[in-house]
Structure 1
Amino acid sequence: MDFFALQGAAEEGSLIQTELAFVIILSLSALVALVSRRIRLPYTVALVIVGLALSFVPNPIDIDLSSELILVLLVPPLIFEATLNLRWEVLRRNLAVILLLAIVGTFLGTLIVGGIITVAGQTLVPELDVAPAAALAFGALISATDPVAVIALFRDLGVSKRLSVLVEGESLFNDGVAIVLFNIALTVGAVTATGEGESFTLSQGIVEFLRVFLGGLAVGAVLGYLVSTVILKNVDDNLIETATTVALAFGSFILAEQFHVSGVLAVVAAGIFVGNIGMQNTSPTTKITLNNFWEFAAFVVNSMVFLLIGLEADLSQFQLNLSLIAVALVAVLFSRTVVVYGLTWIHGRLQAQRRVPLKYRHAMFWGGLRGAISLALALSLTGSYFSDLIVQEFQLMTFGVVLFTLLVQGTTIGPLLERLGLTAISKPQQEQQRHQALLYATRAGRRELDRLYKDGIISAEIFQAMSNVYSHNLRSRNQELRELLVDYPELEQSMILQARKDLLEAERTAISDANQRGLISEDIYHELIRETDDRRAALDLIEMTMQGRADKE
């Protein structure tokens, strides 16, 4: 009896420790998000910096950053949330170049990085002398891009929808390709090292790649279509529908892995179906619930991933192995250069009308960050594949590359986009914002003047003189804004849309308040909320149409 009591106490203590770590992560995430907005630093980069700082002091965050934790628990919701917002119309128009970069580019990047690692190990860095199969495994795992920080920045800066889709679409598909190539390289390495099993030919590798790649997409497509047409179309309950999408995100990954095909690509396909078919089949209320839930889920998961990256990084080991990390960085940057500029040039020759602009290529090159997938694959390596020393070196090199891309590329991509002129804030929009800010400030000054006069702090003569100045400034600034809106009517349409959205949000809040006060019944509450959400959905449709015209290239 005492044994079971002690065992139960130990399990309870472990559970409390995990819960405490989760609470600390959420609290830190909220604080970091608040501060990063004020200092204009990408949120994910700020989390890594905080994690690095915490790694030097004793902390209660005791969560093991294992491969299983990342791939099985953290990756599916991240990928599903990203694909929910990926519009098929824009993706289809750019699918050729995306697949060229994701498939051919990942193959090419794997070969280039693997080749550089092999040559460097035989010449410059003797401690990196590894077998070709091991070098290719590292090339595959480090080829998986993770532009979470970049995409968030794209949205903040209003970057072209096409550029966002190019970067995000490449990442979503190339993650699955990198995992497949990584597993093939491990199989080849195991056969070469042990001499057991059948030899692995190039044709077998291609067949295996196609089976895993297409099989994963098929599993996700079937499940995503079923959920979109059966559940989201016929069940009018936002909680049930949201729960179903959660089951889909994790279930598609698990089922695909059970069939030995790509779980990552299954989630990609499932998310695309739900985002483009399921979202059209369901009610506006469910759309809002789904968007809010998955946005929060992605926030929590990203917070865990990037904070734990900082915590797990051992900077003392980096100092002792700078040559290894330097070789890996050179290989990654060189391969990224060849892949982005080389393959987009070939694509431009084949599809001149859909050529990727040179400015976009610069952003795509520097925006090719590495993150969760690369770390998960590196952490999955064990001594059963390669020697323990090689496994440690690869994990160290992966952490080094991930930190460099996040801390250096992630913090400089914003200035690069502005220098390239890729931010979508046009001169008329800048003028509109300037006029609105001046009007806002002038009205605030006028309100303060009225308060000072009402409180008897200034005399009637001073109040009258200053009031005349403020009235003149308000008239002139209103006139300037009206003239700008006449010259650019699309700005007025955007202002009207935003104002109507704000008003609808106020109405929705008032309806919820009336329900909480018991002024209306639950049936009336749900009816009014649905009506409000229908009106908001109509505004979103109008806005999407306007943005589609602006982004169509």
Structure 2
Amino acid sequence: MSATTLHENILLVLGLLFAMLLLVMLSQKLRMSYPIFLVLAGLALSFVPGLPRIVIDPDLIFLIFLPPLLYQAAWETSWQDFWRWKRPIMLLAFGLVFFTSTIVAYISRAMIPGFTLPLGFLLGGIISPPDAVAATSVLKGVKVPRRVTSILEGESLINDASSLIVFRFALAAVLSGAFSLHQAATSFVLVSSMGLVVGLVVAYGFYLIHRYFPTTPSINTVLTFVAPYVMYLLAEEFHFSGVLAVVSGGLLLSHLSHRVFDANTRLQANSVWASVGFVLNGLVFILIGLELPVAVEGLGSYSLRQAITYGLIISVVIILIRLLWMYPAAFVPRWLSHHIRTQETSPGWQGPFVIGWAGMRGVVSLASALSVPLLLTNGQAFPQRNLILFITFVVILITLVFQGLTLPTIIRLLGISEAEERMPTDAQEAGIRLRLRQVALTHMHQHYVSDMQENELIKALQQRMQAEAQRTGNLLEALDYDDTKRQALQRYHQVLLDVLRVQREELFVLRHEDVFEEEMLRHQEAQLDLDEAKISHMPH
């Protein structure tokens, strides 16, 4: 690659990144979910004359984007919630993916001239997995039961793996012209189970490095970025599931992180991951929109009208399949098991409908379609490749834009409630803080009585703990919606924020006095930031 080409590519990436940031800010102004807005904006930009043609390399998606995005999702997933709703998660991630692939295979073969059953399964494997980022982004700011978001997040961790496995076997069948169900089933078990094993082994190796090597917060943060790539590449090297390797490894390291990461590492890693994850997600969604010219150009013998018709029909089919699947999957296990009926509250008819309507397709589907080879092993052109790519694009556009824009309205119309929550989120946060203060005070009274009497610093710590416990108790009382207490709480927040503002201004003065080192001033500024962040997460 020449220096000129390299400079042009760098400028293109920087321009794309800057455009993505501006579009996300605009989407916030318009109060629209940014994945939907970025896809539409990318679609509009693709019509701009003179704009450089951007062709996504599928290896770039699978290798550069997919491992960190999956790892971040696994890291942020609650293992408790994942295990609690494992049955509906698995029914969606495996059962629905295979069911969708099968129905799409037979319908596409019957509808599209020249479409074979292996090609139908290939298309089904491509468009079967919903996109997690799109669903969670749309659901932000909308009140839905924790059960709904937990199931959607858990499904998204696993369904990419199952759909890619279907895609892999269907692609092999098209290339070889032969397909064995027994061999495919055996290979599926091997690919899945060994992917899990590779992820767990690699994750435990990184756990040992974090725990026993002399790392720093910066080193630990970099290692968290290295880990998903090692898991993915090692599993794929042995032809196992790299997706399941990243998911299982991410879940394990997240579960063990409290043993190896100190506060500084967590603060630094969380901030870096939040920024990187945001950039990666934003870029892939705007790239989806920019791929329209690539999808249209290669239709060949099919007219644009025909291709759009096929895409619309397939889109309607997969939306209906998901909605129809939800109710037997939600209620048949309840009818068959007394244990499930006693341990789980009924989802009602609204919850399954919301989960069914949240099946928006995204970047994995596009990357899978783009990764279909141009040629067969005998050198002939891969059959129906361009049509598969175009149908995939239409499915992504329809499900992401239409379902994404209507999902908040549907949730409001259904009047879905959070009745299954043990207590409101605000009360849970305050309750956790109160328990932590109480156990700290109990521990100090049991082990440090003499220190609290003789050491003024330790006595001040004990008094601060008591004051914080009292303040948290008052917060819990204020959450009962007593107007007087709530007004007092709001006034308390206003005063505290004003005090922090004055302290921040004083830090600015201290910088100009040139008495204290800059590193110490920045440390104190970080402490003020943490104090302000605590207030911003409290109810107002």
Q: Normalised by the shorter chain, which TM-score bucket? A: 0.7 to 0.9
Contact 1:113 1:335 in 2 (8 A): no
1:434 — aligned with what? none
Q: How does 1:304-319 map to 2 (within 5 A)?
A: 304-314=283-293, 318-319=304-305
Offset at 1:218?
1.6
Q: How does 1:204-243 map to 2 (within 5 A)?
A: 204-231=183-210, 235=214, 237-243=216-222
> Do the aligned partners of residues 534 and 234 (structure 1) sit closer, same or farther apart at CA in structure 2, a change above 3 Å counting?
farther
Greater Cα offset, 315-324 or 80-89? 315-324
Offset at 1:345?
2.5
Contact 2:191 2:240 in 1 (8 A): yes
Structure-1 separation of matches of 2:499 and 2:261:
20
Offset at 1:50?
1.1
2:41 — aligned with what? 50
1:294 aligns with 2:286: no
Contact 2:497 2:532 in 1 (8 A): no
Q: 1:277 aligns with which of 243, 248, 256?
A: 256
- Residue identity in the other structure for 2:58: S
Structure-1 separation of matches of 2:490 and 2:371:
51
Structure-2 separation of matches of 1:493 and 1:538:
18
Contact 2:504 2:528 in 1 (8 A): no
Structure-1 separation of matches of 2:211 and 2:526:
16
Structure-2 separation of matches of 1:320 and 1:150:
30
Structure-2 separation of matches of 1:203 and 1:102:
21
State the Cα deviation string for residues 419-457 of structure 1 (Å, max 9, x = none): 22347699x99xxxxxxxxxxxxxxxxxxxxxxxxxxxx
> Do the aligned partners of residues 30 and 506 (structure 1) sit closer, same or farther apart at CA in structure 2, a change above 3 Å counting?
farther
Q: 1:268 aligns with which of 224, 247, 255?
A: 247
1:346 aligns with 2:337: no
Structure-2 separation of matches of 1:235 and 1:503:
41
Structure-2 separation of matches of 1:423 and 1:303:
31
1:139 — aligned with what? 124
Contact 2:100 2:128 in 1 (8 A): yes
Offset at 1:176?
0.5
Greater Cα offset, 172-181 or 292-301? 292-301
Q: How does 1:502-513 map to 2 (within 5 A)?
A: none
Q: 1:82 aligns with which of 58, 63, 73?
A: 73
1:395 — aligned with what? 389
Q: How does 1:419-458 map to 2 (within 5 A)?
A: 419-422=413-416
SS in 2 for 1:157: coil
Contact 2:478 2:485 in 1 (8 A): no
Q: 2:282 aligns with which of 303, 312, 329?
A: 303
Q: How does 1:451-470 map to 2 (within 5 A)?
A: none
- Residue identity in the other structure for 2:359: G
- Aligned residue pairs: how many? 469
Contact 1:515 1:522 in 2 (8 A): no
- Residue identity in the other structure for 2:414: L
1:159 aligns with 2:158: no
State the Cα deviation string for residues 391-440 of structure 1 (Å, max 9, x = none): 111111001100111111111111112222347699x99xxxxxxxxxxx
1:358 aligns with 2:352: no
Offset at 1:337?
2.3
Offset at 1:200?
4.6
SS in 2 for 1:145: coil
SS in 2 for 1:56: coil
SS in 2 for 1:97: helix
State the Cα deviation string for residues 26-65 of structure 1 (Å, max 9, x = none): 2112211111112111101111111111111135555421
TM-score (norm 1): 0.75
> Do the aligned partners of residues 115 and 497 (structure 1) sit closer, same or farther apart at CA in structure 2, a change above 3 Å counting?
farther
1:369 aligns with 2:363: no
Structure-1 separation of matches of 2:499 and 2:257:
24
Identity %: 26
Offset at 1:490?
11
1:329 — aligned with what? 315
Structure-2 separation of matches of 1:220 and 1:93:
22
SS in 2 for 1:156: coil
Contact 1:279 1:287 in 2 (8 A): no
2:26 — aligned with what? 35
1:416 aligns with 2:405: no
Contact 2:43 2:290 in 1 (8 A): yes
- Residue identity in the other structure for 2:269: L
SS in 1 for 2:359: coil
1:384 aligns with 2:376: yes
Q: How does 1:470-481 map to 2 (within 5 A)?
A: none
Q: 2:15 aligns with which of 18, 24, 35?
A: 24
Offset at 1:377?
1.1
Contact 2:54 2:290 in 1 (8 A): no
Structure-2 separation of matches of 1:501 and 1:117:
63
> Do the aligned partners of residues 36 and 202 (structure 1) sit closer, same or farther apart at CA in structure 2, a change above 3 Å counting?
same
Structure 2: which 5+ residue stretches go unaligned?
A: 425-476
Structure-2 separation of matches of 1:500 and 1:113:
60
> Do the aligned partners of residues 519 and 61 (structure 1) sit closer, same or farther apart at CA in structure 2, a change above 3 Å counting?
farther
1:184 — aligned with what? 169
Contact 1:220 1:265 in 2 (8 A): yes
State the Cα deviation string for residues 244-287 of structure 1 (Å, max 9, x = none): 00001222111111121111111111222232321553122221
Structure-1 separation of matches of 2:292 and 2:391:
11
